[in-house]
Amino acid sequence: MRKKIVAGNWKMNLDYNEGLALFSEIINMFKDEATGQQHAVVCSPFIHLHSLVQLAKGYHNVGVGAQNAHQAEAGAYTGEISAKMVKSVGAGYVILGHSERRQYFGESNELLAKKTDTALAHDLTPIFCIGETLQEREANQHFDIIKSQLVEGIFHLDATQFGKLVIAYEPVWAIGTGVTASSDQAQEIHAFIRKEIAAKYNQQVANDTSILYGGSCNPKNAPELFAQPDIDGGLIGGASLKSRDFIDIVKVFN
Ligand code: 13P
């Protein structure tokens, strides 16, 4: 079933104590203010994961995730973290294919297809990110780019596996820039993504897929974005670092 999800991506912010303090605030506010019709997910740096999972115990609508996981099961990959390790601390989600990983760490669609397989094999829910750069949008290539990210990254999955994914559309030009996609621009791409899923799998699979919007999403613009028929929530960067802002975005689904 398609879920309403607001996921925070803390990126490389907050030391251990800061992260625990913020997450405790988020949990308390969620308990007091959210109606529970939505899911809140926090994707933290690896070092916070185990403790956040402990704090989230008993809150069925609060999830914890990593921001990356390696494609291999295990081995001589100094400095890397496996999907199995992420799962072993109780995390339920992993962001894959964020544009910062694609841009700064050279992650290709081909590599991300492998990471997706490994994450699913360990029963993690990938939050699979796609999105075009400004240059690609200006060259009117955005639909082609989105399509190739889908085809090469995740359309090798069978329908059952695909049903376990969450997709996030994050136009690169909207990330951390304060320039958000208009609700029309975002809806247009979300509808396109859903149409492509229906064409590859079937309409039921497309209807059941949660597609989140990410890129300068905040408590002010979230209501209009989330009111669009194909936008099922958000992947939130900067605004997820403030408990009040994050919870106000979560509460759009109250
Ligand atoms: P901002 O919300 O800071 O633009 O970041 C979006 C993002 O990259 C979430 O993954």
Where are the strands (E) in 33-139, listed by range? 39-43, 62-66, 93-96, 125-130
Any ligand 1 atom below 6 A from CB of 215: yes
Mean pLDDT of 215-224: 97
Q: Give the atom of ligand 1 at the shortest distance from the alpha carbon of 217.
A: 2
Catalytic residue among 98, 132, 136, 142: 98
Any ligand 1 atom below 6 A from CB of 153: no
CATH class of 5-253: alpha beta
- Residue 41, pLDDT > 90, answer yes
Reported as a pLDDT band with limits 50, 70 and 90, residue 1 is: confident
Atom 9 in ligand 1: which residue has the minimum CA distance? 237
Reported as a pLDDT band with limits 50, 70 and 90, residue 54 is: very high
Which pLDDT tens digit goes with each residue over 11-39? 999 999 999 999 999 999 999 999 989 99
- Residue 3, pLDDT > 90, answer yes
Mean pLDDT of 111-116: 98
Any ligand 1 atom below 6 A from CB of 171: no
Task: State yes or no: is 170 an active-site residue.
Answer: yes
- Residue 133, pLDDT > 90, answer yes
217 C-alpha to ligand 1 centroid (Å): 7
157 C-alpha to ligand 1 centroid (Å): 27
Give pLDDT, residue 50: 98
Any ligand 1 atom below 6 A from CB of 68: no
Give pLDDT, residue 2: 95
Which pLDDT tens digit goes with each residue over 165-191? 999 999 999 999 998 999 999 999 999
pTM over 0.85: yes
Atom 5 in ligand 1: which residue has the minimum CA distance? 237
* Average pLDDT of the residues of the chain: 97
Q: Give the atom of ligand 1 at the shortest distance from the alpha carbon of 235.
A: 9
202 C-alpha to ligand 1 centroid (Å): 30
97 C-alpha to ligand 1 centroid (Å): 13
Write the CA distances from 178 to 130, 173, 206, 220, integer angstroms: 19, 9, 30, 12
Which pLDDT tens digit goes with each residue over 190-211? 999 999 999 999 999 999 999 9
Structure tokens at 142: 């955005």
**Per-residue DSSP letters for 56-101?**
TTT-TTEEEEES--BSSSSSS-TT--BHHHHHHTT--EEEES-HHH
Task: State yes or no: is 132 an active-site residue.
Answer: no
